[in-house]
C-alpha cells in the first residue's frame, strides 16, 4: 500500500527522549506523508504518561490511562502505522515495550475464537512501516543475532495483531555518525512513505 492522499497515517516516535534522532526522523516521515496529502497524526512516546508495567498480565485488566486511550484511538483511526525507534540491548526501549504490553491486549488487538490456536487479528487491514536506529551494523544484526528483535517485532507483535509489515529497516551506526550518514538516515525516513 502506497501512502496517498486517501491515507490515514499514525507516526509513532518510539524514543523515550524528546530530543532524539528518532524524533527528528519521525518528523521527517510525517512531513513526507503530509506532502503526499495523507492525514497524519504524530505521537511521541516521550510525551505519553502511563504505567508501562502490565502488572496483572492477562488475568486482570488495568484501567487505561488517557494517553493509552488516545494511542489506541489513533491506531484504530489509521490505515498505516509508521514506527521509528532505537534498538537498545537488542530490543525496544522499555517504555515502548510497555506501550505494546499495555495496549496490544486480548479483546483489543487480538482475540481467540473457539478452540483455534491462532487468534483473530483485530487490527487486520492496516499496515506498518518501521525504522530502527542502532549502533550494531546491519550485517552483524543478521549474522550475529539472526535479526532477533526484527523478527519478534514483525512476526510476534505487528503481524500477530494484523499490522502487516510492508517496510522494516535498521539504520546506523548512530554513534559517531557523520553528517553524510545522517543525511542518509533522513533519506531512509522519507522512504517510509514511498
- The Cα 92–Cα 148 span in angstroms is 11
Q: Can you name the residues that pair with 39 across neighbouring β-strands?
A: 8
The predicted structure's pLDDT at residue 115: 81
All cell numbers assigned to 99: 506501550
pLDDT by residue (tens digit) across 62-104?
Answer: 999 999 999 999 999 999 999 999 999 999 999 999 999 999 9
All cell numbers assigned to 192: 517510509
Tell me the mean pLDDT in the region 116-144: 90
Q: Which of 98-102, 134-138, 171-175, 180-184 is the least confident region?
A: 134-138
- The Cα 40–Cα 28 span in angstroms is 12
All cell numbers assigned to 95: 517504555
The predicted structure's pLDDT at residue 1: 63
Yes or no: say if 9 and 80 are a contact pair by the CB < 8 Å rule. Answer: yes
Q: Can you name the residues that pair with 164 across neighbouring β-strands?
A: 127
- The Cα 62–Cα 17 span in angstroms is 25
Yes or no: say if 22 and 171 are a contact pair by the CB < 8 Å rule. Answer: no
Tell me the pairing of strands 126-133 and 163-171: parallel
Of all residues in the chain, the percent with pLDDT exceeding 70 is: 99
Average pLDDT over the chain, rounded to an integer: 95
The predicted structure's pLDDT at residue 5: 87
Q: Can you name the residues that pair with 88 across neighbouring β-strands?
A: 91
Residue 8 CB-density burial (10 A; 0-12 exposed, 13-18 middle, 19+ buried): middle
The predicted structure's pLDDT at residue 91: 95
The predicted structure's pLDDT at residue 41: 98
Q: Is the peptide bond before 173 cis (omega within 30 degrees of 0)?
A: yes
Q: Compare 127 and 144 and report the one with higher pLDDT.
A: 127
Q: How confident is residue 55, by pLDDT bands cut at 50, 70 and 90?
A: very high
Half-sphere exposure of 12 (CA within 13 A, CB side): 27
- Answer yes or no: is pLDDT of 2 > 80: no
Q: How confident is residue 145, by pLDDT bands cut at 50, 70 and 90?
A: confident
- Answer yes or no: is pLDDT of 12 > 80: yes
Give the contacts of 174 (CB within 8 A, at least 6 positions apart): 21, 86, 133, 134, 135
- Answer yes or no: is pLDDT of 17 > 90: yes
Name the CATH topology of 8-191.
Answer: Rossmann fold (3.40.50)
Yes or no: say if 42 and 111 are a contact pair by the CB < 8 Å rule. Answer: no
Amino acid at each position: 500500500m502506497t501512502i496517498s492522499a486517501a491515507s490515514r497515517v499514525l507516526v509513532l516516535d518510539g524514543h523515550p527522549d524528546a530530543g532524539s534522532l528518532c524524533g527528528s526522523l519521525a518528523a521527517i516521515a510525517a512531513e513526507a506523508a503530509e506532502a503526499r496529502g495523507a492525514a497524519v497524526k504524530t505521537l511521541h512516546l516521550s510525551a505519553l504518561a502511563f504505567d508501562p508495567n502490565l502488572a496483572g498480565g492477562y488475568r486482570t485488566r488495568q484501567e487505561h490511562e488517557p494517553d493509552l486511550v488516545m494511542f489506541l484511538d489513533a491506531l484504530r483511526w489509521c490505515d498505516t502505522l509508521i514506527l521509528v525507534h532505537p534498538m537498545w540491548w537488542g530490543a525496544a526501549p522499555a517504555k515502548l515495550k510497555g506501550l505494546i504490553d499495555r495496549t496490544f491486549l486480548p479483546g483489543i488487538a487480538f482475540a481467540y475464537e473457539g478452540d483455534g490456536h491462532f487468534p483473530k487479528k483485530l487490527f487486520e487491514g492496516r499496515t506498518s512501516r518501521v525504522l530502527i536506529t542502532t549502533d550494531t551494523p546491519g550485517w552483524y544484526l543478521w549474522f550475529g543475532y539472526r535479526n532477533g528483535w526484527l523478527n519478534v517485532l514483525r512476526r510476534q507483535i505487528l503481524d500477530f495483531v494484523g499490522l502487516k509489515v510492508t517496510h522494516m529497516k535498521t539504520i546506523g551506526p548512530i554513534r559517531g555518525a557523520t553528517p553524510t550518514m545522517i543525511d542518509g538516515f533522513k533519506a531512509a525516513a522519507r522512504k517510509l512513505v514511498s
